[in-house]
Amino acid sequence: MDFELNEVQRLMANTAERFAEKEVIPWLEREGDAQEMISKMGEVGLFGCAFPPRFGGSQAGFLAHSVVCEKISMADSGLRSSFNLQAMTGAYPIMEWGTKEAQDNYIEALVTGKKAGCVCFSEPNAGSDLAAMETKIEDKGDHFLVNGTKTWISNGTFADIAIVYGTTDRSLKAKGIVGLIIETDQKGWMPHEIDKLGDKNSPIAEITMEDVVVPKENLLGEIGGGFKVAMTALDRGRISVSTGAVAVAQACLNASVKYANERSQFGQLIGKFQMVQSIIADMAAHIEAARHLVYHAAWRNDQDLPFSREVAVAKYFAGEVAVKCAGWAMEIHGGMGYSLEMPVEKFYRDSKLYQVGEGTSNIMKMIIANDALGYKTANRPRLKVPSQFKDLE
């Protein structure tokens, strides 16, 4: 098992790093909007690592996706969600489970950033328990009709294309779940922005749907098969989420090292004090471990191997590391860490998302523990694998 980046992965990483320096940092300084950055990231191919050329991708793989996502997320954690919405939980389920019409209509538009995407799992009364969804999906013969409310929807305020999960019959629980592709430019689609603690550059919305019309060709998989579509999407999405957590942690370390080598107290740089060095060592070790866990999960996916357990471990551990490193960075910065003048207060706010978003730490621990105890195996035979979608022409 070798996680040394190959030539293509290094090229993608360098492209993302240059993009972050030349585009993301100036964009942050002038407080640009997320739509603009999604379009620019799509134009240079940052969302396309896991997609074949005919869908606007580079076919560099999931490990490359992780590397690119980390470089951008280090500059701004809020942009991390776009790597899910435009790729992992957005376009990829359409490639895996969508009709040819849906693939032709939506994948390239999302991957290249021509259209913005969002994914609608959570509801006011259904978060971790997806089988408890209340959003109603009715089969009207030549179309579906959708009614319900979704909440905590990243980029939901401006998305053009949405992947929405709902139920045909709540009594069927998981077996009643359906996944649909919805075009949001219709009067029944009503987003309302929700303010939040961190990741300010990824606006969150509550979305009400009243008689939203969806053509039959926009069904993902089959009626009643939406739960497995959702679960495979979430596994893939956790590659991006855990990568974002590593990126926040690394940003905390970078800022702390810089400050420790600039700030003097008692006649010497604070980096010379053993307690500061102890914190820096803890940060570096935790980040290295988290990154390797993420790379391992992404690598297994690239090899067509089951990776649900590995990505749960990576997501859990990396989320905890992000929060720890944000706290440690605040300690090193002292009073300045509490100031809005320094970046660590932003990292502190952004880090908490990685313990609660797209599978809470407790849910990840349940997956890991149930697998370890033999109650429920996490890595089951895969229904679809990445090599099925390779297209070198």
pLDDT digits (tens, 9 = 90+) for 19-54: 999 999 999 999 888 999 999 999 999 999 999 999
Fold of 117-227: Butyryl-CoA Dehydrogenase, subunit A; domain 2 (2.40.110)
Domain with CATH 1.10.540.10 in the chain: 7-111
358: annotated active-site residue: yes
- pLDDT tens track for 161-198: 999 999 999 999 999 999 999 999 999 999 999 999 99
Within the chain, all domains assigned CATH 2.40.110.10 are found at: 117-227
CA 98/CA 121 separation, integer angstroms: 18
User: Which of the four pLDDT bands, split at 50, 70 and 90, describes residue 4?
Assistant: confident
- DSSP states of 28-76: HHTT--HHHHHHHHHHTTTT-TTS-GGGT-----HHHHHHHHHHHHHH-
Sequence letter at residue 75: A
Instruction: Report DSSP state, residue 117.
Output: E
Residue 11 in this model has a pLDDT that exceeds 60: yes
CA dist 50 to 122, 201, 254, 308, Å? 25, 24, 29, 17
The reported pTM is: 0.95
Q: Which CATH superfamily is domain 7-111 in?
A: Acyl-CoA dehydrogenase/oxidase, N-terminal domain (1.10.540.10)
User: First-to-last CA distance in the chain?
Assistant: 29
Q: What is the structure's pLDDT at 128?
A: 86
Predicted confidence (pLDDT) at residue 393 exceeds the cutoff of 60: no
Burial 26-44 (b: 16+ CB within 10 A, else e): ebbeeeeebbebbebbbee
Q: What is the mean pLDDT of residues 315-329?
A: 98
The C-alpha atoms of residue 69 and residue 56 are separated, in whole angstroms, by: 17
Q: Is the pLDDT of residue 318 over 90?
A: yes
Q: Is the pLDDT of residue 1 over 90?
A: no
Q: What is the mean pLDDT of residues 266-285?
A: 97
pLDDT band for position 270 (cuts 50, 70, 90) = very high
Q: What is the pLDDT of residue 217?
A: 97
Does the pLDDT of residue 5 top 90, yes or no?
Answer: no
Best-predicted range by mean pLDDT among 110-114, 337-341, 379-383?
110-114
pLDDT for position 392: 46
Per-residue pLDDT tens digits for 119-156: 999 999 988 888 899 999 999 999 999 999 999 999 99
> Distance (Å, rounded) from C-alpha 35 to C-alpha 46?
15
Q: How many C-beta neighbours within 10 Å does residue 299 have?
A: 20
Does pLDDT of 339 surpass 60?
yes
The pLDDT of residue 382 is 92
Residue 214: pLDDT band with limits 50, 70, 90: very high
Which residue out of 123, 206, 320, 358 is catalytically annotated?
Answer: 358
How far, in whole angstroms, is CA 150 from its chain's centroid? 18
- Domain 234-389 in CATH 1.20.140.10? The answer is yes
Q: What percent of the chain has pLDDT over 70?
A: 99
Output the average pLDDT for the chain.
95
Size of the chain in residues: 393
